[in-house]
């Protein structure tokens, strides 16, 4: 039975571990949805990507199935970023499959011509939390923990969300090897970009590391930075999924009496507070890691701040008094 080594081919296209993991995840989801595969994770998923059956890919890599799949993901309320990444994963797989001599050129062009469906904007306004609400939510995420291990893990999540404004998929994708020294400074590698870590994050990570199995050698560098916690407090081997991050915040917000709060709400709120404190578009741009200041200016305008594009030393001026 002919096999296609997607892992090897993808490694020649990109050396980004984060991109490879993301593409593996979406290809696995695609094959689960169409080929009836059992969902896989971690090393099992990586081995699957290195041994894909050629006949299976020939049967399921079609423009019609890709179009229907993207429609299905959109109906699941996947974000535009997730839809773009899902499409890129399948298109890249198709391109590499074609380069290996397994796909007709016309089929490849048809797949490349499939684009992400238009995602309708949410009708509900984007929520901003006050400083007091943010502090209450952070305290609740730690105090509501049902075990010491969950408390230690949630303390790390708080630092990643409040200090670095990471997205939930970025938190889920972190591995212990992403913790490193960069120019003599403790840093966390996120999407191939080193982010300097605060002392509070270092302390939280050290306490969480001590709770993990592994003895004096510490956790395996390739294992997830954050893991699931069983009801009895035992630390699972599986990493914390993006949905797990969302659920942790959702439950803490309910406990704190704040209603529905999402990771995106936190990211916006942290950015708004930085802008209120500094009046600097550059500081918000650095925090959110936008590609340009123009994107940051548009972001600030969308959440209710008046920004003068020609003046880089703006003072925060909310358009409304809601925040």
DSSP string over 169-182: HHHHH-BGGGEEEE
pLDDT tens column, 94-148: 999 999 999 999 999 999 999 998 765 554 456 889 999 999 999 999 999 999 9
Q: How confident is the model at residue 40 (pLDDT cuts 50, 70, 90)?
A: very high
Tell me the two tokens of residue 288.
């959110």
Which of these CATH numbers, 2.60.220, 2.40.30, 1.10.150, 3.40.50, describes 3-112? 1.10.150
CATH superfamily of 131-257: Intergrase catalytic core (1.10.443.10)
pTM of the model: 0.61
Q: Is there a contact between 103 and 21 (Cβ–Cβ < 8 Å)?
A: no
Phi-psi sector, 261: left (phi>0), alpha (psi -120 to 50), beta: beta
Residues of the chain with CATH 1.10.150: 3-112
Pairwise CA distance, residues 129 & 237, whole Å: 34
Tokens of 100: 């290996």
Tens digit of each residue's pLDDT (9 = 90 or more) over 211-263:
998 755 778 999 999 999 998 899 998 899 998 999 999 999 999 999 989 88
The per-residue pLDDT for 125 is: 53
Domain with CATH 1.10.443.10 in the chain: 131-257
With 70 as the cut, is the pLDDT of residue 314 above it? no
DSSP 259: -
The per-residue pLDDT of the chain, averaged, comes to 89
- With contact defined as beta carbons under 8 Å apart, do 34 and 60 qualify? yes
The bridge status of strand 193-196 relative to strand 227-229 is: unpaired
Q: What is the pLDDT of residue 46?
A: 95
């Amino acid at each position: 039975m002919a096999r296609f080594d997607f892992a090897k081919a993808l490694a020649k296209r990109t050396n980004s571990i984060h991109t490879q993991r993301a593409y593996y995840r979406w290809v696995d989801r695609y094959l689960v949805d169409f080929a009836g595969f059992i969902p896989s994770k971690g090393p099992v998923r990586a081995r699957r990507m290195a041994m894909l059956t050629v006949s299976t890919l020939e049967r399921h890599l079609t423009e019609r199935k890709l179009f229907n799949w993207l429609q299905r993901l959109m109906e699941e309320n996947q974000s535009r970023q997730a839809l773009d990444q899902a499409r890129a994963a399948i298109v890249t797989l198709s391109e590499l499959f074609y380069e290996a001599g397994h796909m007709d050129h016309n089929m490849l062009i048809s797949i490349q011509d499939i684009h992400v469906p238009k995602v309708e904007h949410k009708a509900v306004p984007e929520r901003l939390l006050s400083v007091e609400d943010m502090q209450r939510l952070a305290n609740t995420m730690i105090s509501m923990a049902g075990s010491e291990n969950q408390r230690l893990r949630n303390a790390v999540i708080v630092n990643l969300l409040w200090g670095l404004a990471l997205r939930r998929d970025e938190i889920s994708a972190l591995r212990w090897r992403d913790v490193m020294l960069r120019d003599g400074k403790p840093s966390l590698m996120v999407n191939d970009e080193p982010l300097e870590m605060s002392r509070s994050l270092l302390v939280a990570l050290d306490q969480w590391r001590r709770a993990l199995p592994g003895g004096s050698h510490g956790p395996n560098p390739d294992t997830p930075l954050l893991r699931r916690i069983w009801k009895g407090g035992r630390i699972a081997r599986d990493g914390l999924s993006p949905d797990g991050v969302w659920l942790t915040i959702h439950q803490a917000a309910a406990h704190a009496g704040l209603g529905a709060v999402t990771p995106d709400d936190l990211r916006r709120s942290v950015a708004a507070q930085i802008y209120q404190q500094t009046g600097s578009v550059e500081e918000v741009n650095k925090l959110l890691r936008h590609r340009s200041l123009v994107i940051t200016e548009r972001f600030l305008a969308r959440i209710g701040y008046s920004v003068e594009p020609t003046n880089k030393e703006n003072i925060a001026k909310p358009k409304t008094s809601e925040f």
